[in-house]
Amino acid sequence: MDVVLQVGIFVVAVIVYLIFVKKYVKNKGLYSQEGWNYPFKVLLAWFAIKRWKSSLNSLPLSELPHVGQNHGCDGISLKASAPDGSTVFVGIRKICSKEKVAEVSVIVKLSDGTTFKLPQHSETAVSEWVNTAGCWNAGGLKIQELEPQKSLRILFNGVLIRAEDNKSYHVKMNLLWASATSVQRYPEDWNDCLAAKCLALEPLMNEQWPNMLNKCGQGSGSWLQFGAIQGRFQSFDVNGEIHTNEYLRVRGARERMWSLGSKDLRRIVTINVCTRDGTAVQIRGLSYHKNFTQCLYGSVRLPNFLMTSVKSCDLVLSEFCETADEIPKTFTIHVTTSNGRTLKLILRIKDGGTLYTGVPHEQSIIYRTLEVDINGEHGTGILELGYECLDGIIPSNIKPSPALRWLSEDEAGPVGNCVSLECSSAACIHFTGGKAASLALLSSVQKEQGYKVPPGFCITTKALYKHLEVNTSIKDAIFEIEACNKDYDENIFKEKCSKAIELFLTTEVVEDVRKDILSFVRDLRSKYESEELFTPLRFAVRSSGVGEDSEALSAAGQNETVLGCVTDDDVMRGVKKCWASMFAYTSVYYRRQNGQQCFSLGGVVVQALVKSRAAGVLFTSHPPYGDVTRILLTANYGLGESVVSGSVEPDSIVIRRDLDDTLSIQKIDLGSKIQRVVTNSNGVSFENVPESDRKKSCLSEDEILKLAKIAVAQERLWGAGRDIEWAIFGDDIFLLQARPY
């Protein structure tokens, strides 16, 4: 009996030693392999996985960038294809280092095989990161949340390169993503059996298994859905004519991924495929230096819309594309799902390219389009092969974040009834309105940028609020307009608006507000009355609504501008007209249609009126398609009012803008320019333009190119396209407004 006991103890000791203690040697390159004890380890690993998952703290599902993440990366991507070969591969990734950087991928393959990609391809880093409410936004690509986990809007407006001949085109995309499945999360929905098989490959010594698992869930994760993308792709030639016009319908995966950073990641394999019958599969394999040598997980969408996880997969990373030189033409993978379905994937690997991520480079990603058969059903997809990249290259031409931005109320500090446009607090839209805040920002960089902003000041929203608090009849009239929204009747609505306007125009401005306004007017007179470009000195009184000239709402031309004010009374009448115009029918109805409140405060800008020789409007992106390769300039003699109002046919000038911002005049179309607006003793008036001046451009080529350079600089400073009003006196260019386009 003692002998049997001793033999039993010895056998158990040997087994424990072999399974748990004996140092395990990686016997195939960098990959751990199955040993004779593998089945025992799988069982133990299964319990370890269960215990680990029970302690996971899942982040709430979010379509948008995580707030407060200062390490690693955070991104969103959509990869989809169609049986006709159409492929869409778009994504934005935020590198969350001290100096945050945006990486963008845009690759579109059309049904005829034509492929478009970004000009800086294979680099993905495009700019410093800028937060944009409600969306991901960088490099001309915008991914907007419409309904969480259900739909996204994908917009692109910029330049893409046609891969076949390296020719650049202005491209617009307007696509809609719609989900077709529930969400699958990693590591939460990582199949226990598959996870155990991966974990059991690794040596079981000390706390190695728990440490490996904790690294997987520590600040990293992802979630995906399968679905469809559809929408319009358009490219345009150098003349702005439509070159390619295709409606895309593709299916694939949308994925959110984030990580606190892992320098241990050695390589990554991602396979996304979808067949005609609706079957969709994603398989991902990861290999680390100091963690899992082979970590596999995946998801399957079945034709009956059921979303399930991958339970087993015979993909062996050491046998598949270990290097970029070992990519096969065909490859077969067998997958079993958690509900018992078995799938055979036959991959036929086609063409593609390379992307680099990280600053400096951390990974090179080889991507390839795929043709696939899943259990005999034909489909298409995308293969991504990520390899560690240690070349140390830092991407060049990363655009800085916009230099011009509006201030918050806290940043602006306290303000009074009036504030100079050269005062930093004037850049707060809540205090001065959109137009004034933009003018304040334009003023802040005018010396460096080589233009001027007419001197002036803004009557703040606090002044209007004070005026309404004293004159309660006006306030009551505004509330009557608001009340009309409940049971809307256009005639009653117009009547209430007219009543409010009448009260504004016939009520005297509150005395302390009036004193402050006239004090600022006197200062302008004393400083600028003798300057030639303002002689005789006239004022432009311009409304500046809080919601006006913003990224969300333009409101161009909705509110009043009064030109040529001479006396103090002229200025005060202009102020009342501007206040009143914010509650005119057209303005209130515009806000109503755009979901804005009726009771909307606003400022008023008072500026010295430039006695311009020529003036007009400058579009940094050519309308109507927002062509970023062409700048549109419209111009007429005299003040810009004739161009802005559309009362006169101006000259139309198109400037070509190359990828390196080289500018050249593409076309000059002379307008009739029959009349111009000029200043006179009573304010402003129209006068006829001499016949000889009508037959030539009102701008010289030097002036055209100077204005175009300002357009490029303004787009860079604001970080987006702008619609700019300008004027010229002598050799000086004045900017009168810059609103989002």
**DSSP per position, 712-737:** HHHHHHHTS-EEEEEEEETTEEEEEE
Final residue in a domain of this structure, among 609, 635, 651: 609
543 and 472 fall within a common domain: yes
163 and 116 in contact (C-beta within 8 Å)?
A: yes
449 and 553 fall within a common domain: yes
Domain at 720, CATH number = 3.30.470.20
Write out pLDDT tens, residues 674-683: 999 998 877 8
Residues 93, 138: Cα–Cα separation, whole Å: 9
582 and 548 in contact (C-beta within 8 Å)?
A: no
339 and 239 fall within a common domain: yes
Mean pLDDT value of segment 22-34: 67
367 and 466 fall within a common domain: no
447 and 596 fall within a common domain: yes
Write out pLDDT tens, residues 83-120: 999 999 999 999 998 789 999 999 999 999 999 999 99
311 and 420 fall within a common domain: no
Residues 151, 143: Cα–Cα separation, whole Å: 10
If one compares 20 and 112, the residue with the highest pLDDT of the two is: 112
- Whether 25 has a pLDDT exceeding 50, the answer reads no
Domain assignment of residue 3, yes or no: no
603 and 438 in contact (C-beta within 8 Å)?
A: no
- Whether 50 has a pLDDT exceeding 70, the answer reads yes
536 and 650 fall within a common domain: no
322 and 287 in contact (C-beta within 8 Å)?
A: no
523 and 618 fall within a common domain: no
Residues 294, 282: Cα–Cα separation, whole Å: 16
**Beta-carbon contacts of residue 472 (< 8 Å; ≥ 6 apart):** none
What is the three-state SS of 249-295?
EEEEEEEEEEECCCCCEEEEEEEEEEECCCCEEEEEEEEECCCCCCE
Q: Taking each helix axis as running N to C, give the angle between helix 511-528 and helix 568-581, from 0 to 180 degrees, rounded to the nearest 10.
A: 120
If one compares 27 and 119, the residue with the highest pLDDT of the two is: 119
Q: Taking each helix axis as running N to C, give the angle between helix 38-54 and helix 208-217, from 0 to 180 degrees, rounded to the nearest 10.
A: 50
Domain assignment of residue 91, yes or no: yes
Instruction: Please tell me the predicted confidence (pLDDT) of residue 303.
Output: 95
Final residue in a domain of this structure, among 609, 642, 672: 609
Q: Name which of 605, 590, 580, 667 is nearest 632 in CA terms.
A: 667
Q: How many CB atoms lie within 10 A of CB 472?
A: 9
Mean pLDDT value of segment 596-620: 92
Residues 444, 421: Cα–Cα separation, whole Å: 9
Q: Which residue's structure tokens are 């003349």?
A: 239
Q: What is the DSSP code (8-state) at residue 20?
A: I
Domain assignment of residue 17, yes or no: no
Domain assignment of residue 19, yes or no: no
- Whether 301 has a pLDDT exceeding 50, the answer reads yes
Q: Kindly list the distances between the CA atom of residue 564 and the CA atoms of 404, 567, 573, 638, 706, in Å, as whole numbers in the listed order.
A: 30, 10, 12, 13, 28
Mean pLDDT value of segment 398-411: 93
176 and 288 fall within a common domain: yes
Q: Which residue's structure tokens are 């103890």?
A: 9
- Whether 173 has a pLDDT exceeding 90, the answer reads yes
Instruction: Please tell me the predicted confidence (pLDDT) of residue 14.
Output: 53
Instruction: Please tell me the predicted confidence (pLDDT) of residue 537.
Output: 87
- Whether 80 has a pLDDT exceeding 70, the answer reads yes
3-state SS, residue 151 = strand
State what percent of residues in the chain have pLDDT above 90: 78
Phi, psi torsion values for 694, nearest 5 degrees: -65, -30
670 and 684 in contact (C-beta within 8 Å)?
A: no
| Distance, first Cα to last Cα, the chain | 93
443 and 589 fall within a common domain: yes
| Domain extent for 251 | 73-388
> Mind giving me the DSSP string for 532-592?
GGGSSP-EEEEEEETTTTSSS---TT-S-EEEEE-SHHHHHHHHHHHHHHTTSHHHHHHHH
490 and 538 fall within a common domain: yes
Phi, psi torsion values for 655, nearest 5 degrees: -110, 130
Residues 202, 316: Cα–Cα separation, whole Å: 14
Instruction: Please tell me the predicted confidence (pLDDT) of residue 267.
Output: 95
Tokens representing 357?
Answer: 């991520």
580 and 457 fall within a common domain: yes
2: Cα within 13 Å, side-chain hemisphere: 0
- Whether 698 has a pLDDT exceeding 50, the answer reads yes
Residues 447, 487: Cα–Cα separation, whole Å: 53
Residues 389, 397: Cα–Cα separation, whole Å: 20
Q: Residue 21 — very low, low, confident or very high, per pLDDT cuts 50/70/90? A: low
Report the number of distinct structural domains present in the chain: 3
Residues 242, 233: Cα–Cα separation, whole Å: 10
Domain assignment of residue 7, yes or no: no
> Mind giving me the DSSP string for 72-94?
SEEEEEEEEE-TTS-EEEEEEEE
Domain assignment of residue 4, yes or no: no
Domain at 540, CATH number = 3.30.1490.20
Q: Global pTM?
A: 0.89
Q: What is the mean pLDDT of the chain?
A: 92
Mean pLDDT value of segment 18-46: 75
Domain assignment of residue 14, yes or no: no
352 and 369 in contact (C-beta within 8 Å)?
A: yes
Write out pLDDT tens, residues 176-209: 999 999 999 999 999 999 999 999 998 876 567 8
Q: Residue 489 — very low, low, confident or very high, per pLDDT cuts 50/70/90? A: confident
What is the three-state SS of 375-417?
CCEEEEEEEEEEEECCCCCCCCCCECCCCCCCCCHHHHCCCCC
Final residue in a domain of this structure, among 353, 388, 423: 388
- Whether 70 has a pLDDT exceeding 50, the answer reads yes
Domain at 198, CATH number = 2.40.370.10
280 and 253 in contact (C-beta within 8 Å)?
A: yes
Domain assignment of residue 637, yes or no: yes
Residues 25, 23: Cα–Cα separation, whole Å: 6
Give the type of residue at 473. S
Write out pLDDT tens, residues 367-383: 999 999 999 999 999 99
